[in-house]
Structure 1
Amino acid sequence: MGKIVVSQNVTLDGVVEDPSGEGGFKHGGWFAEFMGQDWGAWGELELAEAQGAEALLMGRLTDEYFGARSRIMSGEWLDSLNRLPKYVVSATLREPQWTNATVLAGDPVSEVSKLRDQLLGEIVVYGSRPLVRMMMEHDLVDELRLTVFPVVLGAGERVFGETSDKRPLRLIHTKTVGNGLAHLTYERAREA
């Protein structure tokens, strides 16, 4: 059985909306603005994660975002991501934008559950806020890796939405990334 790992860059107050500033959100662009001198350390963290993954799982918008960039950007991290098999959960998408991608068009809970049963390693999820929320609601997330940026935006879409019940987690690792970022790793706690 595979392990679904949600890996997100988030602000201190949990906002994940428009980190690049391309989405028109009034507080967008926080990723580069608050990265500071930590690019190298962040890049090492992301590369190690990509090299340890068996596959990527994402929603349609994340496929579009990375698919467009994969054709114009380069580097060891992107090369590692490009080599991985990708699974895009979408009821409307016919042709994924990113290379080596398969569309999972059926019931999302069933499709993600089947994928987790079929694969053996880490299935990493970047972005994909609606997908992450659905997987959290249905206890399909095994691990959360949050890289926390030193800013409070006070508004914006957060990684987690409402759930029908509590979702207990257990902190298993913390790490300072560079001088200003915190990397927190949580696993799903079966018992509160």
Structure 2
Amino acid sequence: MGKIVMSGPQNVSLDGVVQDPDGAEGFELGGWFVQFGGSDLEEWNKIALEEALRAEAWLLGRKSYEFFGARWRPRAGELADRLNSMPKYVVSSTLDEPDWNNTTVLRGDVLTEVSKLKQELDGEIVVPASYRLGHTLIEHDLVDEVRLAVFPVVLGAGERFFGEACGKKAMRLVDNRTIGDGLAFLTYEFAQDA
């Protein structure tokens, strides 16, 4: 049975904002990934490679799929090679012909499709960046673990990692470490018995 992990790593500000870390979406507070990641981004890249190598597959929403596909398809190197070759599943009702190799489009009810995927795959099914998809999966108790790269900035506004609809969810810290000198990498499991 597969394990759904929100990671890649999942980049968040201290106040939980995940919106527009690279500034490409035009959010007025976007671009915080490079601005506040600084010299720690080389170490962050090592974590991203670790995450990709241990993943069985990636699960993405359509917008994240398009973003990552455009970014990684033309690249080479260990991380690009892994991302380009690994199985990818994209939840979309509008994507007809995926243009990133090893991609399967999941159509129909997202909860049913992701539940089936968890049954069919062994290992980690990593959900990178796709926070809207993540909100739905967390709300319906389909996410097993979250791995957060916490950036040293408070934005005060923007889309949050945990949406309001998620409700109260007990979690247990299972690992923590630093990335470089300024980023925290936190791993939490959902406490099913709470």
What's the TM-score once normalised by structure 1's chain length? 0.96
* Residues matched between the structures, number: 192
CA offset digits 1:109-154 (Å, max 9, x no partner)? 0000000010000000111121100000100000000000000000
Q: Look up the match of 2:132.
A: 130
CA distance in 2, matches of 1:90, 1:84: 19
The CA deviation at 1:70 is: 1.9
2:60 is paired with a residue whose SS is strand
Q: 1:184 aligns with which of 183, 186, 189?
A: 186
Structure 1 residues 70 and 164 mapped into 2: Cα distance closer, same or farther (>3 Å)?
A: closer
Q: CA RMSD in A?
A: 1.1
The CA deviation at 1:34 is: 0.7
Paired AA for residue 32 in structure 1: V
CA distance in 2, matches of 1:139, 1:88: 19
Q: How does 1:114-153 map to 2 (within 5 A)?
A: 114-153=116-155
Contact 1:11 1:153 in 2 (8 A): yes
Paired AA for residue 6 in structure 1: M
Contact 1:64 1:96 in 2 (8 A): no
Unmatched 5+ residue regions in structure 1? Answer: none
CA distance in 1, matches of 2:124, 2:112: 18
Paired AA for residue 189 in structure 2: E
Q: How does 1:105-116 map to 2 (within 5 A)?
A: 105-116=107-118
Unmatched 5+ residue regions in structure 2? Answer: none
The CA deviation at 1:94 is: 1.0
Paired AA for residue 89 in structure 2: Y
The CA deviation at 1:4 is: 0.4
CA offset digits 1:28-60 (Å, max 9, x no partner)? 110011111112211111111110010000000
The CA deviation at 1:168 is: 1.0
1:157 is paired with a residue whose SS is coil
Q: Look up the match of 1:96.
A: 98
Q: Look up the match of 1:37.
A: 39
Q: Look up the match of 1:57.
A: 59
Paired AA for residue 61 in structure 1: K
The CA deviation at 1:97 is: 3.5
Paired AA for residue 5 in structure 1: V
What's the TM-score once normalised by structure 2's chain length? 0.95
CA distance in 2, matches of 1:142, 1:20: 27
CA distance in 1, matches of 2:124, 2:47: 15
CA distance in 1, matches of 2:81, 2:37: 22
